[in-house]
Amino acid sequence: MQKRTLGRDFEVSAIGLGCMSMTSAYGPAGEKSEMIQLLRNAHELGVTHFDTAEAYGPFANEELVGEALEPIRDKVTIATKFGFDIDPVTGERRMGTNSRPEHIKQVAEAALKRLRTDHIDLFYQHRVDPNVPIEDVAGTLKDLIAEGKVLHFGMSEAAVQTIRRAHAVQPVTAVQSEYSLFYRGPEAELLPALEELGIGFVPFSPLGAGFLTGKIDENTQFDPTDFRNYVPRFTPEARKANMALVDLVKSVAARKGATPAQIALAWLLAQKPWIVPIPGTTKLHRLEENLGAVNVKLTEGDLKQIDEAASSLKLEGARLPEAVLKMTGL
């Protein structure tokens, strides 16, 4: 597996593993022993970077990742997140965000226990808290880094000016936001700013929440607990209208002898050398397929063809429900 560097010196595998779907969001949680084996298989296949969060469960995902990676902790890096208002005892998720300094420190201590480790490699603010100055958040991370409990500070779904303010207090190593051929919002302002500041980028939903794999169409029925049931871009009408993008990816895949998922990931990898996508899966064959994207080489001609064809498409539906989009501030 190729390696990439986020920020100044945080080296990780070129493709990481997003762990959220193993316990939440995309339907029922996977069987625990199978998910532990999948996490260990990922490392055997070259993945060194694993992404989780206290909110995935809540808590269950961190516990799963901690148990799975404990035997190989010194060979991997783990990213987790703080920032939602979650009761530390019951796991009840209250409405809104909470990035008060004392809360961040409590979450860090709890995450260390669940992850069975003495340090968090990358600690993201999951969502910006409008009630806490970002300078206070960055200052708290600076303290945690000085104590050795956290190695790197990250931000998720943050606006450029907020990132700049935080970075001035404590250097930000990575920013995580949605980015793929299915959602290209970061290209306008975020990517240029990250390049200027020397901050890495970790796209979540790099396969468009599965849409770019070519395995979803307007007739696909999602599990009742699957978050895509509530996403405007995943209504049957939107899926039908957006199939033109999937057809484009499929045509490139056929010509390159790859799968649509591999083309979507290879496209992301080709955008910048400091981009590290984190596709998630609960299946070994999908994991192997996704990691194969590092061997797919898209030429300048391929990239130009994809951009020209994609720019003529008008995708239907917002990427997230309106209430969730308001929380991001983007």
d(CA 329, CA 316): 21
Q: Rounded to 5 degrees, what angle do the CA atoms 152, 153, 159 make?
A: 150
- Residue 139, C-beta contacts closer than 8 angstroms, at least 6 positions apart: 101, 169, 170
Peptide bond into 58 cis (omega under 30): yes
Can you list the positions of beta strands (E) in the chain? 3-6, 10-13, 17-18, 49-51, 77-82, 84-86, 93-97, 120-125, 150-156, 172-178, 200-204
Give the N- to C-terminal CA distance of the chain in Å, as an integer: 33
Please tell me which residue in 26, 56, 179, 183 is annotated as part of the active site. 56
Catalytic, 230? Answer no
Cα–Cα distances in Å, from 204 out to 18, 21, 176, 218, 265?
A: 8, 12, 7, 23, 11
- Cα 183 to its chain centre, rounded Å, is 13
Residues in the chain: 330
d(CA 125, CA 45): 29
Name the residues annotated as catalytic. 56
